[in-house]
Amino acid sequence: MAREIKLCLVYRDMWQSSGKYMPRVDQLVKVAQPIVDMGCFARVETNGGGFEQINLLYGENPNRSVREWTQAFNDAGIQTQMLERGLNGIRMNPVPADVREMMFKIKKIQGTDISRSFDGLNNPQNLENSFKFAKKGGMIAQGALSLTFSPVHTVDYYIELADKYIEKGAEEICIKDMAGIGRPVSVGKIIKGIRARHPKIIIQYHGHSTPGFSVATSLEAARNGADIIDVGMEPLSWGTGHADLLTIHEMLKDAGFKLPEINMQAYMQVRSLTQEFIDEWLGLYINKQNRYMNSLLIAPGLPGGMMGSLMADLEKNLASVNKGLAKKGKKSISQDDLLIKLFDEVKYVWPRLGYPPLVTPFSQYVKNIAMRNVQDMLKGKNRWGLIDENTWGMILGRSGSLPGQIGEEIQKLANEQNRDFFYGNPQSLYPDELELFAGKMEEKGWDFGDDDEELFEYAMHPPQYENYKSGKAKDDFLADLEKRRSAETTQVSMVNLPPKVPNTPSPTHYDLQPKTLNINVNGEHFKVSVSYDDADAGMDSTLSNNNGSTSSFEVLAPLEGKFFLTKESSEKGIVVGQKINKGDTIAYIEAMKVYNAITAEQDGEVAEITANHGSDVEEDDVIIRLK
């Protein structure tokens, strides 16, 4: 008798792996019933990961989205599942235990049945609360093994890891192949080993198609005991997404497995609606490159879920790199050149950072450090010039123990900066906060929402929720959308521009001319602001000594991003007149989803804060002046 294989549509991840976007609630509701009508899915991934943050960023209430989106599946008896990041919940940084516990209770009430919990370091200790809280809230607790390929991540490592997850309370196991780099035979051996030790546990395989292994891996997974296979569907399958429903369905049927038939009329409706949603955003928040598979990703092992944001970040990084090269009179590089340099650098930094599994958020940390190193080395600087605070937290054990040993270069940096390593339970570092946020909501007169879901949302995503409530998120989103659309229109119209008249400056003439110069006078180093025309007449032309012997010292932005005086609402930022010591953290720049601490290079007093809290800054912008 043929063994049954069930399918799960990862509709949320299909979008997140394609770009920085999720459909609006009205669009999600519109496509839900046709997905049900397809008749072939036992499960649908509806929320989790970056879903709710994206909702907030464009001014939509994520609680309403989850409730309305899951309703059709709940009514049809199709299980819904979410993705959560263990200690980080559904954000990129650690979450207090009381907020984590509340999440599972609320998500179950809102219509989510299964919690797929993963820890970025595969740390069972960090997931124990997830399993306990999920079951207490009425959800099914699924433990995800974050698959990565390295000398320390062996077949036996994963089989034994599944044992530990089940011992901690996991009711199901997911093989989470977020980069699609799991070799088919090895994945088969992992599942076979888990099945031999745990004959009755449900095993689900989730693999991205990015480098091309996922179809063969899905077959090996099924043959070796997997019960459920995650799939994507056109027009968001393949590329950095997931293997396509039609391909996996036919392959498994041919291999002798029993699967429900697909209602092709409903399939075409879902396909058409999804394409309709894509057409609104393709090229704005969905990079076309993410629609292609890329075997180059086998070596760096970066996950498909990250590639959507990576390609968007890469455009900004490329502009910054080429701007720096132009200042030095060097030839610009292409996006492909930068991508290959990034991949090569990932291979260099990853083992030295202790082989963290390349999954959110640690894949971002590894990628960000690699990108920063590439940018610095192209400018003639050394590696490791800027390690963000999130990455330091990972290195120092504040997210749990790393699978491998950190490199000598990193250990030396930690020693030089007097950083202490942590060996306890990471959850203990993040005290409960629900009372704090409840008090803030009462002060503001904000409604706690059904089942306190608005309190949860505020505690989980404080800055995004505040911007959502004030309307700033919606305004910023619409402004950014208009900016992107204008840029797209400009690019098209530039094709038909008349030939350039000789001896006239190009529109970017002044962008290529330096605003500051470093000069040497009798052995002393000075930074001089340069003015080119009347428009720059107000520019500060004070001579400032980088050795600290003159009256002014400019603190420059080391990278492009958003400027913040603090990164937590409980912190106090610097103020004009405040005394600063060398090495003090004086501000932050948020870039590529992490906060980079800006430290004072000398003692002094804050003379001026030239950037606004929350504003965008360019690399080398003056953000603070000390005297």
What is the DSSP annotation of 384-439? TS---HHHHHHHTTBTB--SSPPPHHHHHHHHHTTPPP--S-GGGGS---HHHHHH
Q: Which residue has the higher pLDDT, 515 or 464?
A: 464
pLDDT, mean of residues 398-419: 92
Q: The tokens 């030089």 sit on which residue? A: 416
Nearest to residue 85, comparing CAs of 117, 41, 43, 133?
117
- pLDDT for the residue numbered 593: 62
The predicted model scores a pTM of 0.78
Nearest to residue 294, comparing CAs of 248, 241, 252?
241
Question: Over the stretch 101-112, which tens digit does the pLDDT of each residue have?
Answer: 999 999 999 999
pLDDT, mean of residues 227-237: 96
- pLDDT for the residue numbered 165: 98
CATH of 6-291, one of 1.10.10.10, 3.65.10.10, 3.20.20.70, 3.10.450.50: 3.20.20.70
- pLDDT for the residue numbered 208: 92
Is the pLDDT score of 141 beyond 50?
Answer: yes
Percent of the chain predicted with pLDDT > 70: 86
pLDDT, mean of residues 381-388: 88
Task: From residue 496, give the alpha-carbon distance in Å to each of 486, 493, 506, 532.
Answer: 16, 6, 16, 30
pLDDT, mean of residues 412-429: 93
| Helices 462-470/472-494 angle, 10° precision | 90
Location of each CATH 2.40.50.100 domain in the chain: 514-626
Is the pLDDT score of 512 beyond 80?
Answer: no
- pLDDT for the residue numbered 532: 43
Question: Over the stretch 279-308, which tens digit does the pLDDT of each residue have?
Answer: 887 667 777 767 777 777 777 777 755 655
Ranking 179-183, 200-204, 390-394, 523-527 by mean pLDDT, the lowest is 523-527
- pLDDT for the residue numbered 311: 64
Ranking 7-16, 73-82, 160-169, 546-555 by mean pLDDT, the lowest is 546-555
Ramachandran angles phi, psi of 152, nearest 5°: -95, -15
CATH of 514-626, one of 2.60.40.10, 3.20.20.140, 2.40.37.20, 2.40.50.100: 2.40.50.100
- pLDDT for the residue numbered 542: 39
pLDDT, mean of residues 342-366: 89
Q: State the DSSP H helix or E strand holding residue 579, giving kind and residue range, or none if neither.
A: strand 579-580
DSSP-assigned letters across all residues of 353-387: TT---S-TTHHHHHHHHHHHHHHHHHTT--TTS--
Averaged confidence pLDDT in the chain: 85
Ramachandran angles phi, psi of 310, nearest 5°: -60, -45
* Distance, CA of 582 to CA of 413 (rounded, Å): 17
How many other C-beta atoms are found inside a 10 Å radius of the C-beta of residue 157?
Answer: 14
What's the full length of the chain, in residues? 627
Is 574 in contact with 534 (CB distance < 8 Å)? Answer: no
Location of each CATH 3.20.20.70 domain in the chain: 6-291
pLDDT, mean of residues 419-429: 94
Task: From residue 560, give the alpha-carbon distance in Å to each of 227, 309, 372, 509, 556.
Answer: 46, 15, 11, 21, 11
- pLDDT for the residue numbered 592: 61
- pLDDT for the residue numbered 340: 85
- pLDDT for the residue numbered 601: 77
Is the pLDDT score of 421 beyond 70?
Answer: yes
Helices (H), 283-334: 304-327
- pLDDT for the residue numbered 312: 63
Structure tokens at 199: 């004959």
How many other C-beta atoms are found inside a 10 Å radius of the C-beta of residue 494?
Answer: 9
